[in-house]
Chain A
Amino acid sequence: MFFHIVLERNMQLHPRHFGRNLRENLVAKLMKDVEGTCSGQHGFVVAITGIENIGKGLIRDGTGFVSFPVKYQCVVFRPFKGEILEAVVTMVNKMGFFAEAGPVQIFVSNHLIPDDMEFQSGDMPNYTTSDGSVKIQKDSEVRLKIIGTRVDATEIFCIGTIKDDFLGVINDPASV
């Protein structure tokens, strides 16, 4: 799910960036520093949408760098346990399948795929129901529920399930 949120960060700026363009330089550095990063509490910082306030700068002893407290608004993306997401399948194997929802990777183990779906190997590995009516393969769109998340420095990884009512394939590329 996406959020709009106000965050704060202390930005250190080299004196060479001071002058008329100080503010622009500060914002440019902020964008470079935080966009695309992720944290457990906030998730992915997708984009900065505005600057709320730039506080008074403070000279760092001994370096000449000045640190400014910057309050900024941004759009973040964070998956939640219990959330329902639509994701695109990126890889299928006998352990389950991987899918992607925005910047987030989701793994659905074969234990969390309905029991009537069997793994079929081949050029295009897939999970298919016994009557062949439903198929999950690469590029299928599935609706899944997040049941676990893990965050590391650069990515968020989730465990999902499609073993529940109203979950599963919503768009099969093969049938289109």
Chain B
Amino acid sequence: MSDKGGHGFSLPNGKGVKSSLKSTTPVTKDASIKGKDDSSTKSKKGRNVQFASEGSKFDKSAAASTKANSGSSGGKKEPEPLQLKVENELPKGAKCLMDCEAAYVLQGIQEQMIILSKDPTIKLPVSFDRGLQYTKRSTHYTDPESVRQVLENLKKYGVSDGEICVIANVYPETTDEVFALLLSLKARRIMLDDPVKEVLSELAKLKKST
């Protein structure tokens, strides 16, 4: 399954890339011309692969990795630029974890391993250490539970789990920052402005004092 995205980034080859595949279709600005034949991708329900200006800049690197346009990621056509759509891409039953929650879980496992690892053949992989290191560095809060509680308030305004996690992970300071980083929320800004402001002020209280 790892070859689903093929080799090469699943970036749009955008304007001006000579695709090795026959692509006589005019490349519209927002079109994600990916895959072997565009007609089939249209019908395919797939990831939202829209790039506005970023795409074209990647022409060279994308072209270099020839198959940059693997057909599997045929996208719906939407005019918006790149948005976070965690829910669409994730298998069912997955639950997003904020970095601080992940830190808590991983830390627990590490401690357990020290006690339990009599068997020298079981070693924690490199990716575990890297993951733990990453969570430690990027965790801004001490108490994951109360952070989760505060952010749950946004759920009733239709903010998704993925978006909530990003807010928790990047620790934005202003509402402007939130809406600039999460384009998917921008459209609903009028409705979300106040609740987000409230949540941010609550989060500021929970910040780790370092």
A residues engaging B (CB < 8 A)? 1-6, 28, 31-32, 35-36, 38-42, 44-47, 49, 75-77, 80-86, 88, 100-103, 109, 111-112, 141, 143, 145, 147-153, 157, 159, 161, 163-167
Answer yes or no: B89 CB below 8 A from chain A CBs.
yes
Contact of B99 among A2, A80, A150 (CB under 8 A): A2
Answer yes or no: B93 CB below 8 A from chain A CBs.
yes
Task: Give chain A nearest CB distance to B158 CB in angstroms.
Answer: 17
Contact of A80 among B5, B89, B127, B180 (CB under 8 A): B89
Contact of B128 among A38, A47, A147, A167 (CB under 8 A): A47
Query: Contacts A49-B105, A75-B97, A102-B131 known; A41 to B86 CB distance under 8 Å?
Result: no
B86 surroundings in chain A (CB, below 8 A): 1, 80, 83
Q: Are B9 and A4 in contact (CB under 8 A)?
A: no
For the residues of A in contact with B, the DSSP-based class is: strand
Task: Give chain A nearest CB distance to B95 CB in angstroms.
Answer: 5
Q: How far, in whole Å, are A161 and B55 apart by their CA atoms in the complex?
A: 11
Range class of the B interface residue count: 35 or more
Contact of A149 among B5, B96, B138, B172 (CB under 8 A): B5
Closest to B97 in A: A2
Q: How far, in whole Å, are A112 and B145 apart by their CA atoms in the complex?
A: 36
Answer yes or no: B122 CB below 8 A from chain A CBs.
yes
Closest to A147 in B: B54
A-B complex: 7 closest residue pairs judged by Cβ atoms? A36-B125, A102-B134, A82-B84, A2-B102, A103-B127, A111-B57, A2-B97
24 contacts between A and B (CB under 8 A): A1-B96, A1-B169, A2-B131, A2-B135, A4-B95, A39-B1, A41-B91, A46-B106, A46-B127, A47-B124, A75-B131, A77-B127, A81-B47, A81-B84, A83-B86, A86-B138, A86-B169, A103-B127, A103-B131, A109-B57, A151-B5, A153-B2, A165-B180, A166-B180
Most chain B Cβ neighbours within 10 Å, of A147, A148, A163: A148
Answer yes or no: B206 CB below 8 A from chain A CBs.
no
